[in-house]
Structure formats: structure tokens, C-alpha cells
Amino acid sequence: MRFFYLFLAGLVCLWGCSQSPSSTSCSWYQDNGGLKVLSTTAMIDDLVGEIGKDRVDHIPLIIGEVDPHSYELVKGDDEKLSSADLVIANGLHLEHGASLLQQLQKLPNVVFLGDAIKEKIPERILYIEGELDPHIWMDISLWAEGIDFVVAALIEKDPEYACFYQENGIALYQKMLMAHEEICSALHGIPEEKRYLVTSHDAFHYFARAYLGENGSWENRCVAPEGIAPEGRLSTQDIKRVIEHLCSHQIGVVFPESNVARSALKKIVLSCEHRGLKVHICPLPLYGDAMGAAGSCAANYLGMIRHNAEVLKGEWEK
């Protein structure tokens, strides 16, 4: 009988893990001595994992193909937030869903990574039509500036392993800068007249500045029908502006994003056809506000940026 109850308890535990909103193991919900770090996005969570390794239990709050701009708390999120020793958010107005923002502003143990980077190097933060652009992870060299803040936050919570976090941070910084240079070199090998990027929403300005510009000029290389947050209503003017850009530069391809509907791009392609310009939608999506699924080449941060570069290069070399 005792064996039966132990068996039943084990099944209940397994069922609870499988029903958890996250895909992580039960360790997050157990007191196993590990430092528990909750990041709002997968891109931040990847930094935490690379620096903290097996010293931390880390999970992202926003999972899968979900828009982080308008994310609202769901069942189970309160438990994750309250269980965390440390919460790291992007900031820069990315997480502006009312319920999430309200909770983040109340927490005493939250670090706003983007705000810290902005304070350190304000000249590298972009404003698009007067609106603060939060998509700083799209430039690897800029995202790498957040490593020191993650390291410092982990050391504050776990000072005994300060050297461990610092060494991992240095190694990650070097790895990221190497990837940055490789991508920059690869994309600058594409003729300048082909390096025009039309996507679903304004998530790629940092990417364009870092990897597509020529002699400091990059502003007209990145256009999208939807703004910084892909949640507003599209106007006829938004569509017309993108069509004019495509026709003006004779751009033959537009790039969908993994977590944004393609309806606007389809309208744009059809309108361009009526004007005599053949434009197609790239069959492979880019990753802007979300990383790829587990097991995919874009399931980690650097893989995500490399995937974007490879997709662009593949289309532009045709």
C-alpha cells in the first residue's frame, strides 16, 4: 500500500510538470538550492543561461510565438514571479502590457536590462519617429553590452560564485563580438543595392544599422507596414508608404516575421503586382520578437540572429 501511494504521488508530480505553463523541468518550482532567475523574454533568458550555466534555474516568462509588447499575465505567471530570486526585463517600454508592467514595477528584485544599457550608452539607442525602439537585441554588439549587468545581478544574489559568473561573462562577450563581426562581413559582401529589408513590423532598425548600412547610412534600408509594436491598426498610408519604397528601390522580396500575421505583406505584394513590380514573400520567416522553437537553428539567441542573416543572404544572392 505504501508503494502504491508513493507511485501515485510520483504520477501527480509528473502530471503537474507536464501541465506547467512553461516547458521547463520541475526544478523551478522546487527549493533545490539553485538561484532562480526569471527573464521576460527568451533572448534575455539565453544570456542568463550562458552566464549562469548550472548555477541557476532560469526560464523565460514569455514563451513561444507571442508578442512581448502587449503580453498580459496568464495563469501561473504570478507564481513564477513570486518564486524568482531575480527577474530581468528588457525595459525600454517593450513590456507595456498593463498587467505585466504593473507587476514588474512593483518588484524589488527586477533589473531592466535595456534601461541599464541606455543609461550607459544613450547614443546607441534608437528612436523611430520619436518612439523609443526597444529591439536592442537585434544588434549583437549592443546586446553584448548587457552582459555586465546580468553578471552584476547574479553576483549580488550569489556572491560566492562571482569569479564563475565573471569568467562566463567574458567568454560570452568575446563569442558574441566574434559572431557580430562574422555577420557584418557576410552581409556586407552583398551588393549595396540589394541590402533593403522590408519586414512585417519595425523590429529590425538596430539590425539594419549594425549589418546593412554603408558608410553610416542605414535609415532607408529598413521599412515595415507596422510600427514598433505590431498591435495597432494599419492605415492605407502605411501600406502605400511600403509600396512606394519597394517600387522606388525595385525590391523583389519581403520578409515575414515568425510571430506576426502576413496579411499586410500579402496586400503589399498584390498592390506591387498591379503596379508591374513582381514581389514575393520569403518562405522562411525572420525572428524579431521571438526566438525559434526548441531544436531549431534559431532556438538560441546567436542562432536566431545567424538564421536571420542567412535567410537574407540567401534571398539577396538569388
Lowest-confidence region among 4-13, 190-199, 258-267: 4-13
- pTM exceeding the 0.85 threshold for the entire prediction: yes
For residue 51, the model assigns a pLDDT of 98
Q: Which helix (H) or strand (E) holds 38?
A: strand 35-39
Lowest-confidence region among 3-12, 44-53, 60-69, 77-86: 3-12
Instruction: Identify which has the larger pLDDT, 276 or 21.
Output: 276
Report pLDDT digits (tens) over 222-235: 999 988 887 666 78
Q: Say whether 179-316 and 17-176 share the same fold.
A: yes
Question: Helices 162-188 and 301-316 meet at what angle, rounded to 10?
Answer: 0
Report pLDDT digits (tens) over 88-105: 999 999 999 999 999 999
What is the rounded CA–CA span in Å between residue 46 and residue 186?
A: 24
The CB density around residue 108, as the number of other CB atoms within 10 Å, is 5
Find all residues with CB under 8 Å of 54, minimum gap 6, and list them: none
User: Taking the domains of the chain in order of start, what are their residue ranges?
Assistant: 17-176, 179-316
Q: Which helix (H) or strand (E) holds 247?
A: helix 236-249
Find all residues with CB under 8 Å of 113, minimum gap 6, and list them: 44, 88, 89, 90, 91, 146, 149, 150
For residue 21, the model assigns a pLDDT of 37
Query: What pairing do the DSSP bridges indicate for beta strands 86-89 and 110-112?
Result: parallel
pLDDT at 25 over 60: no
Q: Which fold would CATH assign to domain 179-316?
A: Rossmann fold (3.40.50)
Radius of gyration of the chain (CA): 21
Lowest-confidence region among 112-116, 157-161, 216-220, 307-311: 216-220
Q: Which CATH superfamily is domain 17-176 in?
A: Nitrogenase molybdenum iron protein domain (3.40.50.1980)
For residue 217, the model assigns a pLDDT of 81
